[in-house]
Chain A
């Protein structure tokens, strides 16, 4: 069958070509039927992907992918048709914001009035740092007039003879302190 160069002769070539054609046509048929199949276009998962980030304008704090009402069902259908039109997730969100306001978004926009809600945690952090600093400074100052003898409360030894005994002794001391 093989000629001098190792390439197949005529009949095997015909066979090969027909096999390839059959294969190609099968492929084509498969892709065509995939397009005609029931799950053409947008899958439920893709709708959910967008719907989980959008909130129902009527119900409270309910994302569109879990909301059970008829209205939400309509909105999910709207998402689906928008996605089928080829719009991106961001465009779908924009469309919803245009019609129903920013409340459909899962988090407030970072610009404009709602930037407050993003800045406030930072303010809280800053205030926290300041308060920490001031408290530490204040606590460093001897707060009461007379210095109370601390020795009886905490036998803390940095280099104990027997570290375990000291540790146990400390636990016992703390136990005593916690009781009457």
Chain B
């Protein structure tokens, strides 16, 4: 019953989304505002419908309704409740529904928030958001339906279907299946893969007592947060794209669409950044390979839209300030949107991992179709308004902030391009030569490092470069103090042999940017102190209060700098060793000695056998901690290696219990990493997030002003 209700709710939301997309377009083109209004209502209606469906699915997961195929595949009796809830996004069908739900939240919010202010744009925003939503819901309803249930036929075969056997529905289903079997090729397989509506007559419900349970690697707190963050980030960027399309459609390409989407962009960007950082943290904590970023295709799929999105985030400032880079901004937001869809496609279609898994579901071809349509529509609309997107102003000098932002765009796009090549080269090579190649971290680090460094440098210099035109002397004067301090510091470290050439260069750039960013805070506060007589802390506080975007942005840059230091430290100076020892013996690495004390082996919740080692860590002779690295073996046969980690300010002592051989008291293999400065990565991430909150914090007096302005608009303009 619950499953049927859920299926109906999702189907209704599909109808609403399709109707909203079409009615809105039709209404605005034929000057029938009542259709636009009704489209808006339908769009908002998708929110309660999808919320209901998602909550119902969560209910099914928690209650263990294993007749529902999705519940069977991702849930099991032994899973703790919180994991059962997060299993909503543990598998393909549920995560697509979850994606759609989040999309409906954001689009409803944009309907409610922006409707009055951007009246002319909103109908097209409805179409664009609802078009995207309709696609995802269509995937859920027709091909990956989480409410499909398992049925057993008289001959013992197990089938899935949404409804049980009934005279009308079953014959309809059979008729459809026969029809689909006659359609050839890809289209035929697409039609064939549609989730059957009803089970054949004579089928009985499959009464399964337990489910498969979630993949062991996903049973961790990180799994709870990481995908929702990423989805929120992806979905967050769909709204600015919708506004961009609306701007192109209406011809209002100057500033209103940017202003409207300023916060949406920041919100989407915040979540995407959070998702990426948390993903790295999860990998470090749980996946047990000692690192946090492996340039894995799935990670890259989330990184690519982030790169284009960050470029967009910066570039819109130029459009706001000087009416320039309009074409760039359109291109950037379109690229971001396309990469959001492409990234979702990549990770779900299996295109990257294997030729065979790609074709096994219908998802692949459908995403391609949607993507193709999105490219064609976006590019056509952009080309139509290309001329109107001319800059208002011209570039006065090469050394100007406008040029710096242009350079910023290019650097981000080059890195985006490189990540794209690397991620897709495996498939490309397999297609053309038949031989697979691996593009690993070595390649990515090699090709992206110079550009990332250039970005960090630009991050430090751009705030010092004036609008329109800046003189080299002025720039030089501002850079002297940070440059000198950095060079001295790095020089001393290098002279003492603490640094390699590469890391010295990197740290010089990073130090310079750190200095100039801190100097920006100081200059503003000092200026206020001197001219307004405010005390320094008050001046600093007021700076933030009155100029949240700018100073929040500087805080974000600070976060990036701190993260960069952490990245350099943990990459360039990582130490590792692996040894097999018996209980009582020790392993030495660097300043550390680790003693293997004890071993425990016991069954745990979740059908797993835990093998846990107890070790004591000494640094320079003093005991600094006790760790418990463990190796979990799940009933399904999958292993998980959970590290023991001693986090200190300057480095991590990270130990893994390796299962190359049988683990016992007389012989256990440990792999130890000493990761210098790794916690700076997480600390930097925290600063980053705080900065984003500062930058995005609504200014309530500004809100009131805008509301007053809207109210003052003549009624005709508003309606």
- A residues sitting closer than 8 Å to B (CB atoms) are 43-45, 48, 53, 55, 60-61, 63, 66, 68, 73, 76, 101-108, 113-114, 116-117, 120-121, 124-125, 128, 131-132, 135-136, 139-144, 148, 150, 153-154, 156, 158, 162-165, 167-168, 171, 174-175, 177-180
Contact = CB atoms under 8 A, between A and B. Distances in A.
Contacts, number: 168
Contacts of B705: 179-180
B641 interface: yes
Nearest to A120: B421
B438 A61 contact: yes
B441 interface: yes
Contacts of A104: 438
B639 interface: yes
Given A103-B438, A143-B392, A165 B547 contact: no
Contacts of B439: 107-108, 117
A152 B391 CA distance: 18
9 closest Cβ pairs, A-B complex: A139-B395, A106-B440, A44-B578, A164-B527, A107-B443, A66-B289, A143-B391, A103-B436, A164-B531
B390 to A, nearest CB: 5
Contact of B440 (A61, A68, A143, A164): A61
Contacts of A165: 531
Contact of B524 (A105, A108, A171): A171
Nearest to B290: A66
12 contacts: A53-B442, A66-B288, A114-B429, A120-B421, A124-B414, A132-B407, A135-B328, A136-B395, A144-B390, A154-B467, A174-B547, A174-B550
Contact of A124 (B418, B547, B659): B418
A44 B580 CA distance: 8
B156 to A, nearest CB: 33
A61 B354 CA distance: 11
A69 to B, nearest CB: 9
Contact of B576 (A48, A113, A168): A48
B531 A162 contact: yes
Given A68-B659, A107-B446, A120-B417, 4 more contacts: A45-B579, A68-B641, A121-B421, A143-B391
B386 interface: no
Contacts of A116: 425
B532 interface: yes
A106 B441 contact: yes
A143 B386 CA distance: 13
Nearest to A105: B438
B468 A132 contact: no
A49 to B, nearest CB: 9
A73 to B, nearest CB: 6
Contacts of B466: 156
A61 B531 contact: no
Nearest to B418: A121
B296 interface: yes
Contacts of A117: 421-422, 425, 429, 437, 439, 443
Contacts of A135: 328, 406
A150 to B, nearest CB: 7
A45 B670 CA distance: 11
B447 A121 contact: yes
A154 B468 contact: yes
B443 A132 contact: no
B622 interface: no
Contacts of A158: 471
B620 interface: no
Nearest to B639: A68
A contacts with B: majority SS: helix
B324 A139 contact: yes
Interface string B205-222: 000000000000000000
Given A60-B353, A101-B436, A143-B394, A108 B528 contact: no
Interface string B694-719: 00000000100110010000000000
A68 B671 CA distance: 14
Contact of B468 (A103, A141, A156, A164): A156
Contact of A167 (B407, B527, B547, B706): B527
Contacts of B410: 128, 131-132
B531 A168 contact: yes
B38 to A, nearest CB: 31
A45 B578 contact: yes
B294 interface: yes
Contacts of B322: 153
Contacts of B523: 167
Contacts of B549: 178
A142 B391 CA distance: 8
B12 to A, nearest CB: 39
B175 to A, nearest CB: 41
B153 to A, nearest CB: 36
A52 B392 CA distance: 54
A168 B528 contact: yes
A61 B421 contact: no
Interface string B338-354: 00000000000000111
- Give the one of A73, A76, A125 with max B CB within 10 A: A125
A84 to B, nearest CB: 16
A136 B403 contact: yes
Given A102-B435, A106-B440, A168-B528, A143 B580 contact: no
B393 interface: yes
Nearest to B425: A117
Nearest to B397: A140
Nearest to A163: B527
B526 interface: yes
Contacts of B441: 106
B669 interface: yes
A173 to B, nearest CB: 11
A43 B438 CA distance: 27
A116 to B, nearest CB: 8
Contacts of B418: 120-121, 124
B320 interface: yes
Contacts of A121: 414, 417-418, 421, 447
A141 B393 CA distance: 9
A60 B288 CA distance: 16
Nearest to B641: A68
A55 B440 contact: yes
B425 A108 contact: yes
Contacts of B413: 128
A48 B580 CA distance: 13
A45 to B, nearest CB: 5
Contacts of A108: 425, 429, 437-439, 443
A21 to B, nearest CB: 32
Contacts of B702: 179-180
Given A44-B580, A55-B438, A107-B440, A76 B660 contact: yes
A49 B79 CA distance: 38
Nearest to B631: A68
Interface string B429-456: 1001101111111110011000000000
